[in-house]
């Protein structure tokens, strides 16, 4: 065990730190923030993705030949620390970078890697995930969207739901049924679909936060070239499990932890400055205790992810332990977001529209948004089944 | 960066765990101390007490990280808290002892001849060492400590006391004139919490750790104890997880193993998640304490508070999932529940340590901001 870094790793850190200081707008995180309006915010994030790419700071641990910099997992961890330190904006292309990219790296053909990976890294192409359907949520293997082979094409018909960022996406990877007669896990394939294809339509869904990050996506006789099949026909379930291991894995957790740490730091600052009786809110020992516990949990997210990195570095495979990471961060973040509202009291309830809003109403918005954490990427109930059965060996 | 233990560290932890399992009284239903001495001698024979002693003092020269998994095994095996307190005292002598103290203490510490209990808590006082009442005045120590684990079996006490208006650590022989030890009747008699009264006990100048020149030894004690106790408690939590999962696999109701029911399976999964988060927090504290990093205090308090919370939850869940059996004396789950509670309250309860985490984080952020301003 050693948390010291090599001179090369320290140099990597200082390079990134310097680059971030130059790249972020002056006063970032203090007087300058993301746009409030939803679409403007996402486009801001897309532009940030592109800026990161221009500096060579996306897909950093992908191989150099596909546009990455071949960074180690340790450098990946340093990257997350520095992004948190700089309070850097979030990414829009997280599905491309965290899910589509690694899946294509694992299972894609050489042609697919060359075609797709560089444009994910550059964020010229944003990705969406076509897994869930109205009748295939937790029971994901029940997907019914059909893909029928006609010559050198698949013809896709069906509907996906909860497709985040579909409205900004050029591509979507989807689980489609290619053999309706096979047992449900055995008749699924993994297909890459151009969102600009004729027959693709999307309808935004309104979330409890009032935002419309996710959508319904409809496929009506959509033609997909056969070369966009990833892996073998009817082997999509196995590939999807790898995608999910990344979606729930340590890289994803580290990237999210950046946001949660930023929110918690902001909460600590606000509670330390907001007047209460003769002092400030965080003079209250109960508030100090709550904040202390939140600090511990948000730090533990990072530590749990780093433990996982070390297991990979020691040769272990990615597997069901990703469910531990996802279950942990999602609930810990929810607790922190809820605690923020409790600690700030009535002023914490004010939204961004109100002139008296605290931190532009961000705590209330985060509280609402946090309700999705324990549902997407596999609900907590599914993660608990996986942990119980596959890690602890409890019977089905 | 590497967050994994090496082969030697893992093997040492497993050896300590196996060794303790040879002494069933440690975890048996009855709250007995009848095998404490045998277990102690076996640990001493294994060389546990020489591990932290520097090589130049004829020890093995290992670091706290090297023994982290062994400490976890001590917790899971319900070893006497005297084992942990003696290891903590050894590390303190290594860091702060004068040459004379090292010469005098490392020999008997390394062989396990010297058992050291730590006297910290006082009635009516919190955890802040600055506010404790025990004091050395005119070379004599007076005051009363409570909840001193294993004081009745210890040879030496490491006492937190004020000396010249500064918190200090003094080594006191349990048999010295003016020392009265009374075992208290408490929730976990196997931890042997004692009240220790000091009535004008003579403290020679060379009994103050490091000569008593600063309060650094007391601050280090707090962080060391918090870190080591986080290891003990997460060991208990993991033992409860293992025991409960095993039970859920074999116990049948409605014609099925109860572990197939999601109401049970999901609670086991939640325990597994917390044990992993607690371990990550505890191991990180061990590393920061071993390195004496700037984050030592924050990570130690984080680990102490969080692992205590997790152990408490794990003990509660274990008893609940075992059903009526869990509440029986002979199932012996009460041993872990009792010990976890005793460890939780020692060296600062979770509430105190969470507040300390907050205070350290605020101080760290202010220092960071100052550094940024200075750089700009």
Q: How many whole angstroms separate alpha carbon A39 and alpha carbon B15? A: 59
Q: Tell me, what's the pLDDT at B370?
A: 79
Q: How many whole angstroms separate alpha carbon A244 and alpha carbon A99? A: 8
* Nearest C-alpha neighbor of B347 from the set B233, B236, B225, B191: B225
Report ipTM for this prediction. Answer: 0.97
Fold of B7-114: Butyryl-Coa Dehydrogenase, subunit A; domain 1 (1.10.540)
Contacts of B83 (CB under 8 A, 6+ apart): B40, B43, B48, B74
Q: At CB < 8 A and 24+ separation, what contacts does A218-222 make? A: A218/A158, A218/A159, A219/A145, A219/A156, A219/A157, A219/A158, A219/A159, A219/A160, A219/A174, A219/A193, A220/A157, A221/A155, A221/A156, A221/A157, A222/A155, A222/A156, A222/A157, A222/A193, A222/A197, A222/A198
Report yes or no: A375 and A215 within 8 Å, Cβ to Cβ.
no
Contacts of B259 in chain A (CB under 8 A): 388, 392, 394-395
Identify whether residues A298 and A384 lie together within a single domain.
yes
Report yes or no: B81 and B33 within 8 Å, Cβ to Cβ.
no
Query: E-strand spans in B86-210?
Result: 116-119, 135-137, 140-149, 156-163, 166-173, 179-183, 193-202
Q: Could you tell me if residue A103 is inside a domain?
A: no
The number of residues making up chain A comes to 396
Q: How many whole angstroms separate alpha carbon B90 and alpha carbon B86? A: 6
Q: Per the CB < 8 Å rule, is A393 touching B256?
A: no
Identify whether residues A253 and A363 lie together within a single domain.
yes
Q: Could you tell me if residue A101 is inside a domain?
A: no
Q: Could you tell me if residue A315 is inside a domain?
A: yes
Q: What is the distance in angstroms between the CA of the first residue and the CA of the last residue of chain A?
A: 36
Contacts of A92 (CB under 8 A, 6+ apart): A42, A45, A46, A48, A49, A123, A126, A165, A168
Interface test with A, best of B252, B253, B280, B282 (most A CBs within 10 A): B280
Q: Could you tell me if residue A342 is inside a domain?
A: yes
Q: Tell me, what's the pLDDT at A133?
A: 97
* Nearest C-alpha neighbor of A372 from the set A265, A213, A168: A213
Q: Tell me, what's the pLDDT at B239?
A: 98
Q: Could you tell me if residue A379 is inside a domain?
A: yes
Catalytic residue of the set A90, A125, A247, A263: A247
The number of residues making up chain B comes to 376
Residue A72: which CATH number?
1.10.540.10
Identify whether residues A225 and A149 lie together within a single domain.
yes
Q: Exposure string (b/e) for A204-221, b if CB count within 10 Å is 16 or more?
A: eeeeebebebbbbbbbee
Task: Give me B320's structure tokens.
Answer: 């609940």
What chain B residue is nearest to A287 in terms of C-alpha separation? B355
Q: Per the CB < 8 Å rule, is A392 touching B281?
A: no
Report yes or no: B181 and B225 within 8 Å, Cβ to Cβ.
no
Say which of A1, A288, A291 has its CB closest to residue B5: A1
Identify whether residues A40 and A140 lie together within a single domain.
no
Q: Tell me, what's the pLDDT at A84?
A: 83
B270 Cα to chain A: minimum distance (Å) = 7
Cross-strand partners of A133: A136
Q: Which CATH number fits domain B118-212: 2.40.110.10, 3.10.20.340, 3.40.630.30, 3.60.15.10?
A: 2.40.110.10
**What single DSSP character describes residue A2?**
B
Report yes or no: A247 and A98 within 8 Å, Cβ to Cβ.
yes
Q: Which parts of chain A register pLDDT below 50? A: none
Contacts of A132 (CB under 8 A, 6+ apart): A140, A160, A161, A162
Give the domain-ending residue among A235, A267, A302.
Answer: A235
Q: How many domains does chain A have?
A: 3
What is the pairing mode between strands A171-177 and A127-130? Answer: parallel
Tokens 């004020």 belong to B162
In terms of phi and psi (left: phi > 0; alpha: psi -120 to 50; beta: otherwise), the region of B160 is beta
Give the domain-ending residue among A235, A266, A295.
Answer: A235
Identify whether residues A321 and A372 lie together within a single domain.
yes
Residue A192: which CATH number?
2.40.110.10
Report yes or no: A234 and A182 within 8 Å, Cβ to Cβ.
yes
Q: How many whole angstroms separate alpha carbon B119 and alpha carbon B109? A: 18
Active site residue A110: no
Q: How many whole angstroms separate alpha carbon A244 and alpha carbon A377? A: 7
Task: Give me B107's structure tokens.
Answer: 């020999």
Contacts of B279 in chain A (CB under 8 A): 307
CB neighbour class for B118 (10 Å; exposed up to 12, middle 13-18, buried from 19): buried
Task: Give me A50's structure tokens.
Answer: 């592109």
What chain B residue is nearest to A86 in terms of C-alpha separation? B372
Q: Tell me, what's the pLDDT at B1?
A: 85
Q: How many whole angstroms separate alpha carbon A78 and alpha carbon A14? A: 10
Q: Tell me, what's the pLDDT at A352?
A: 84
Contacts of B324 (CB under 8 A, 6+ apart): none
Domain made up of B216-366: CATH architecture? Up-down Bundle (1.20)
Q: Tell me, what's the pLDDT at B375?
A: 65
Q: Per the CB < 8 Å rule, is B3 touching A299?
A: no
Contacts of B85 (CB under 8 A, 6+ apart): B116, B117, B118, B149, B150, B154, B158
- DSSP codes of every residue in A338-361: HHHHHHH-GGGG--TTSTT-GGGG
Task: Give me A294's structure tokens.
Answer: 């939140």
* Nearest C-alpha neighbor of B369 from the set A101, A166, A272, A338: A272
Identify whether residues A257 and A368 lie together within a single domain.
yes
Count the Cβ atoms, other than its own, within 10 Å of residue A319.
14
**What are the residue ranges spanned by the domains of chain B?**
7-114, 118-212, 216-366
Q: Could you tell me if residue A104 is inside a domain?
A: no
Q: Could you tell me if residue A97 is inside a domain?
A: no
Identify whether residues A198 and A269 lie together within a single domain.
no
- DSSP codes of every residue in A293-304: HHHHHHHHHHHH
* Nearest C-alpha neighbor of B6 from the set B226, B283, B271, B217: B283
Contacts of B268 in chain A (CB under 8 A): 387-388, 392, 394
Tokens 């109860």 belong to B258
Contacts of B355 in chain A (CB under 8 A): 285, 288-289, 292
Q: Per the CB < 8 Å rule, is A3 touching B1?
A: yes
Identify whether residues A18 and A84 lie together within a single domain.
yes
Count the Cβ atoms, other than its own, within 10 Å of residue A342.
11
Q: Could you tell me if residue A312 is inside a domain?
A: yes
Identify whether residues A274 and A371 lie together within a single domain.
yes
Q: Per the CB < 8 Å rule, is A324 touching B351?
A: no
Residue A254: which CATH number?
1.20.140.10
Q: How many whole angstroms separate alpha carbon A87 and alpha carbon A344? A: 22
Identify whether residues A276 and A368 lie together within a single domain.
yes
Calculate the dihedral angle through the C-alpha atoms of A258, A259, A262, A268, rounding to the nearest 10 degrees: -120
Identify whether residues A22 and A57 lie together within a single domain.
yes
Say which of B256, B269, B361 has its CB closest to residue A388: B269
Q: How many whole angstroms separate alpha carbon A243 and alpha carbon A231? A: 13
Task: Give me B353's structure tokens.
Answer: 């340590």
Identify whether residues A217 and A153 lie together within a single domain.
yes
**What single DSSP character describes residue B102?**
H
| Chain centre distance of CA A119 | 18
Give the domain-ending residue among A173, A205, A235.
Answer: A235
Domain limits at A196? 127-235
Q: Taking each helix axis from N to C terminus, what angle separates A250-271 and A73-85, rounded to the nearest 10 degrees?
A: 20
Contacts of A27 in chain B (CB under 8 A): none
Q: Tell me, what's the pLDDT at B297?
A: 98
Say which of B265, B281, B365 has its CB closest to residue A394: B265
Tens of each residue's pLDDT in chain B, 376 residues:
899 999 999 999 999 999 999 999 999 999 999 999 999 999 999 999 999 999 999 999 999 999 999 999 999 999 999 999 999 999 999 999 999 999 999 999 999 999 999 999 999 999 999 999 999 999 999 999 999 999 999 999 999 999 988 999 999 999 999 999 999 999 999 999 999 999 999 999 899 999 888 999 999 999 999 999 999 999 999 999 999 999 999 999 999 999 999 999 999 999 999 999 999 999 999 999 999 999 999 999 999 999 999 999 999 999 999 999 999 999 999 999 999 999 999 999 999 999 999 999 999 988 877 776 776 5
Report yes or no: A388 and B244 within 8 Å, Cβ to Cβ.
no
């Amino acid at each position: 065990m050693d948390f010291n870094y090599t001179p090369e790793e320290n140099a990597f850190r200082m390079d990134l730190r310097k680059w971030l200081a130059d790249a972020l707008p002056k006063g970032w995180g203090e007087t300058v923030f993301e746009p409030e309006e939803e679409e403007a915010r996402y486009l801001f994030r897309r532009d940030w993705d592109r800026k990161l790419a221009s500096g060579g700071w996306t897909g950093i641990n992908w191989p150099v030949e596909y546009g990455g910099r071949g960074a180690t997992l340790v450098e990946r961890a340093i990257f997350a620390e520095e992004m948190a330190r700089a309070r850097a904006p979030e990414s829009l292309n997280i599905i491309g970078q965290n899910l589509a990219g690694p899946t294509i790296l694992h299972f894609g053909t050489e042609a697919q890697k060359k075609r797709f990976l560089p444009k994910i890294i550059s964020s010229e192409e944003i990705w969406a995930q076509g897994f869930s359907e109205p009748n295939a949520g937790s029971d994901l293997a029940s997907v019914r969207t059909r893909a029928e082979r006609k010559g050198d094409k698949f013809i896709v018909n069906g509907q996906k739901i909860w497709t985040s960022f579909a409205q900004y996406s050029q591509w979507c990877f989807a689980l489609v049924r290619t053999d309706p007669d096979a047992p449900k896990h055995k008749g699924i394939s993994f297909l890459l679909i151009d969102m600009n294809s004729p027959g693709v339509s999307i309808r935004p869904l309104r979330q409890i936060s009032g935002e419309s990050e996710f959508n319904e996506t409809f496929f009506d006789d959509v033609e997909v070239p056969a070369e966009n099949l990833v892996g073998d026909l009817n082997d999509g379930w196995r590939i999807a499990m790898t995608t999910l291991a990344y979606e729930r894995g340590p890289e994803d957790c580290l990237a999210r932890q950046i946001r949660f740490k930023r929110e918690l730091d902001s909460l600590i600052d606000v509670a330390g400055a907001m007047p209460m009786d003769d002092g400030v809110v965080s003079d209250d020992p109960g508030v100090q205790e709550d904040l202390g516990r939140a600090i511990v949990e948000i730090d533990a997210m990072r530590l749990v992810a780093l433990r996982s990195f070390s297991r990979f570095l020691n040769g272990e495979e990615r597997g069901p332990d990703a469910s531990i990471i996802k279950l942990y961060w999602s609930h810990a973040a929810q607790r922190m977001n809820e605690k923020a509202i409790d600690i700030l009291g009535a002023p914490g309830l004010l939204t961004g529209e109100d002139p008296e809003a605290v931190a532009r109403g961000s705590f209330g918005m985060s509280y609402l948004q946090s309700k999705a954490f324990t549902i997407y990427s596999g609900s907590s109930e599914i993660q608990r089944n996986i942990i119980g059965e596959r890690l602890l060996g409890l019977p089905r | 960066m590497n967050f994994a233990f090496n082969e030697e560290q893992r093997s040492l932890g497993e050896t300590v765990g196996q060794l303790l399992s040879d002494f069933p009284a440690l975890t048996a239903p009855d709250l007995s101390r009848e095998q404490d001495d045998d277990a102690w001698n076996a640990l001493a024979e294994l060389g546990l007490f020489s591990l932290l002693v520097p090589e130049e003092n004829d020890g093995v020269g290992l670091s706290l990280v090297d023994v982290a998994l062994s400490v976890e095994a001590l917790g899971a095996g319900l070893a006497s808290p005297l084992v942990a307190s003696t290891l903590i005292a050894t590390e303190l002598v290594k860091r702060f002892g004068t040459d004379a103290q090292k010469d005098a203490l490392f020999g008997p510490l390394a062989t396990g001849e010297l058992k050291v209990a730590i006297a910290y808590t006082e009635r009516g006082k919190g955890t802040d060492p600055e506010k404790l009442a025990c004091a050395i005045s005119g070379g004599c120590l007076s005051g009363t400590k409570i909840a001193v684990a294993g004081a009745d079996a210890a040879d030496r006490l490491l006492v937190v006391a004020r000396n010249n208006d500064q918190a200090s650590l003094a080594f006191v022989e349990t048999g010295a004139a003016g020392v009265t030890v009374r075992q208290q009747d408490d929730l976990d008699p196997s931890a042997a919490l004692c009240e220790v009264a000091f009535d004008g006990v003579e403290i020679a100048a060379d009994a103050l750790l490091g000569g008593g020149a600063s309060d650094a030894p007391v601050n280090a004690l707090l962080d060391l104890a918090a870190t080591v106790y986080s290891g003990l408690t997460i060991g208990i939590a993991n033992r409860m997880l293992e025991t409960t999962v095993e039970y859920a696999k074999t116990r049948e109701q409605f014609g099925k193993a109860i572990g197939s029911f999601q109401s049970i399976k999901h609670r086991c999964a939640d325990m597994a998640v917390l044990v992993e988060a607690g371990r990550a927090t505890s191991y990180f504290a061990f590393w920061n304490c071993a390195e004496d990093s700037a984050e030592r205090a924050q990570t130690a308090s984080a680990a102490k508070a969080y692992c205590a919370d997790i152990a408490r939850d794990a003990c509660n869940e274990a008893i609940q999932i075992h059903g009526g059996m869990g509440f029986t004396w002979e199932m012996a789950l009460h041993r872990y529940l009792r010990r976890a509670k005793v460890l939780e309250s020692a060296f600062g309860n979770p509430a105190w340590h969470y507040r300390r985490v907050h205070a350290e984080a605020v101080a760290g952020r202010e220092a960071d901001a100052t550094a940024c301003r200075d750089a700009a």
